[in-house]
Amino acid sequence: MNVSIIGSGNVATQLGKALYQSKIEINAVWSRNPAHALTLAQQINSKTVASLDEISNSTSEIVIIAVKDDAIKTLVEQLKNYKGIVVHVSGAMPMDILSVCSKIGVFYPIQTFSKDRDINFKNVPICLEANSSETFKFLNELAVLLTSKVYEVNSEQRKILHLAAVFACNFPNYLYDIAGDILSKHQLDFEIIRPLIRETAEKVQKANPKEMQTGPAIRKDMNTMQAHESLLANHPEWQKLYRLMSTVIAKENKD
Amino acid sequence: MNVSIIGSGNVATQLGKALYQSKIEINAVWSRNPAHALTLAQQINSKTVASLDEISNSTSEIVIIAVKDDAIKTLVEQLKNYKGIVVHVSGAMPMDILSVCSKIGVFYPIQTFSKDRDINFKNVPICLEANSSETFKFLNELAVLLTSKVYEVNSEQRKILHLAAVFACNFPNYLYDIAGDILSKHQLDFEIIRPLIRETAEKVQKANPKEMQTGPAIRKDMNTMQAHESLLANHPEWQKLYRLMSTVIAKENKD
């Protein structure tokens, strides 16, 4: 297989590295930022190209567009003469955004990526969609080289998955951040709650989170909740968040 | 060392098992629910007692009260003739709630416990407080048998830690639960986002969550946020939570 990558951000970098480690040839990397493209290309034994025309005219069997959602449409228009498969990696965008090309699909890895933190793709679910069974077959062959978890997911379902991922990843990370800020304001180290964060995530790897809920809200421990709200008096947004979270959690417990 | 345990819930069970595995003798278990006390006692080679007087008159060097916060005060009054050390394990309660006894302290493990999920205590931070250096020394000797992470934390700091733990554990778990509900309403399996949950927690084991924030809110991706809010139209509380979380996250990004 012979792949080209458009983009040089978190997803492009981690996906590019994973493809490279799976012995897949990366023909070229293009990015709006040539320096970033070069950094990525050097890590995956590839080269950068100066224009998307070079990718259009290349022998790549597939072009993976891994850029911000609002840049996809403009970029794919520059690939309209390309004869291979074009996919994007976005959870939020429909496949049809690529329809200026004829062989299109989506290659959506459900994971949180950072440039500096390498991911073991073996455990990353990859959600595939394609506009023909032939293209789907190709995407599936590519995906199984990276992971054992391949799902077929249409554009509507993918939007739901992306929404769930915001609740499962982006929001929890921000709560970790608030926890860290609360601690540091009182000269306490974030390190002290890291094992708790890890265990909270580990607990739901086999169980259902509904059965794992602990804390003052599910116990309807009003004294503790009121004390906590008082401690947050100088941070109205955190207080509002505390109150809203606690209210919805307490409703779960119909005791 | 010779310990007695009051309580038979999640913390009592996991702490009791950890003490037992560390070769500490558990003299007796008492719980308001005798059947639960028996279940715990049988797991830790101990016995149950019918009344707290038996614990007061026992040779235990320390009694660990691991019950709901609002039950501590009533229980400790029944131990006022006991000559050993009395501790509670609560994040929210001050040490002074035990002051009817003379040798008092707090033995607060920062972790989320379930009866059915055994915890490796080696990685559990234990926060200690005592009303004398002698008692502190005893608690420290006990704690280091269980974990390498022992902290001295006063009652004010412990309240802060407990508050931070709510943000780092209880709230994220509830967000996992919402994510699971969103998926199941659309015939998608929670399994598909478990690797994401794990990686989100793993990322902050070395890094600062502020540097790890990803998702539509930190990117100020208004289109995606609006689309997500529309998908939540039938769940006003989830929608409200989505909006509040996104608003506070977007404020972090001053781009």
Enter the tokens of residue A181.
Answer: 């800020």
Closest CA to A209 of A164, A160, A155: A164
Which residues on B lie below 8 Å from A194 (Cβ)? 204-205
> Could you tell me if A2 and A25 are in contact, meaning their C-beta atoms sit under 8 angstroms apart?
yes
Is the pLDDT at B181 greater than 90, yes or no?
Answer: yes
Model pTM? 0.92
Token digits of residue B55 = 């614990």
| Predicted local distance difference test score (pLDDT) of residue B253 | 66
What does the pLDDT read at residue B252?
Answer: 77
Q: Which A residues, 209 through 248, put their C-beta within 8 Å of a C-beta on chain B?
A: 209-210, 212-219, 221, 223-224, 227-228, 231-232, 237-238, 240-242, 244-245, 247-248
Average pLDDT estimate for B88-95: 95
Residue A183 touches partner B, C-beta closer than 8 Å: yes
Give pLDDT tens digits for B30-84: 999 999 999 999 999 999 999 999 999 999 999 999 999 999 999 999 999 999 9
pLDDT average, residue stretch A65-80 = 96
Tokens linked to A84 = 């291979």
pLDDT of residue A116: 84
pLDDT digits (tens, 9 = 90+) for A3-40: 999 999 999 999 999 999 999 999 999 999 999 999 99
**A31-71: per-residue pLDDT in tens?**
999 999 999 999 999 999 999 999 999 999 999 999 999 99
DSSP bridge pairs for A65: A6, A88
Q: What are B204-222's pLDDT values in tens digits?
A: 999 999 999 999 999 899 9
Instruction: DSSP for chain A, please give it.
Output: -EEEEE--SHHHHHHHHHHHHTT-EEEEEE-SSHHHHHHHHHHTT--B-SSHHHHHTS--SEEEE-S-HHHHHHHHHTTTT--SEEEE--SSS-GGGGTTSSEEEEEEE-S--BTTB---GGG--EEEEESSHHHHHHHHHHHHHH-S-EEE--HHHHHHHHHHHIIIIIHHHHHHHHHHHHHHHTT--GGGGHHHHHHHHHHTTTS-HHHH--STTTTT-HHHHHHHHHHTTT-HHHHHHHHHHHHHHHHH---
Q: Name which of A151, A202, A244 is nearest B244 (Cβ-Cβ).
A: A244
Cβ-defined contact of A169 to B216 (cutoff 8 Å)? no
Is the predicted pLDDT of residue A206 greater than 60, yes or no? Answer: yes
Helix (H, G, I), strand (E, B) or coil at B234: coil
* ipTM of the complex in this document: 0.93
End-to-end CA distance of chain A: 58
Say which of A68, A176, A217 has its CB closest to residue B168: A176
**For B222-252, what is each residue's pLDDT tens digit?**
999 999 999 999 999 999 999 999 999 998 7
Across chain A, what does the average pLDDT equal?
95
> Do the Cβ atoms of A176 and B168 come closer than 8 Å?
yes
Percent of chain A with pLDDT over 90: 93
Is 80 exceeded by the pLDDT of residue B18?
Answer: yes
Q: Which residues of B touch A70 (CB under 8 A)?
A: 221, 223
Task: Indicate the pLDDT class of residue A254, thresholds 50, 70 and 90.
Answer: low
CB contact (8 A) between residue B195 and residue A125 = yes
- Provide the pLDDT for residue B254: 58
pLDDT confidence tier of residue B134, bands split at 50, 70 and 90: very high
Region class of A44: left (phi > 0), else alpha (psi between -120 and 50), else beta: alpha
Confidence at residue A114, expressed as pLDDT on a 0 to 100 scale: 85
Return the residue of B nearest to A246 by Cα: B171
Put simply, the answer to whether A190 touches B200 (Cβ < 8 Å) is no
Structure tokens at B187: 């015939």
A226-241 pLDDT tens trace? 999 999 999 999 999 9
pLDDT of A119 higher than 80? yes
Residue among B68, B148, B167, B189 with most chain A CBs within 10 A, to mutate:
B167
Average pLDDT over residues B112-120: 88
Nearest CB to A209 within list B180, B244, B248: B180
Task: Check whether B175 has a pLDDT greater than 90.
Answer: yes
pLDDT digits (tens, 9 = 90+) for A131-163: 999 999 999 999 999 999 999 999 999 999 999
What residues are paired with A6 via a beta bridge?
A30, A65
Q: Is the pLDDT of residue B255 over 70?
A: no
Q: Which of B197, B202, B242, B247 to probe the A interface (max A CBs under 10 A)?
A: B197
**pLDDT computed for residue B116 by the predictor:** 84
Q: Measuring CA to CA, how many Å separate B58 from each of A205, B49, B54, B63, B84?
A: 42, 11, 6, 10, 9
Confidence of residue A253 (pLDDT cuts 50, 70, 90): low
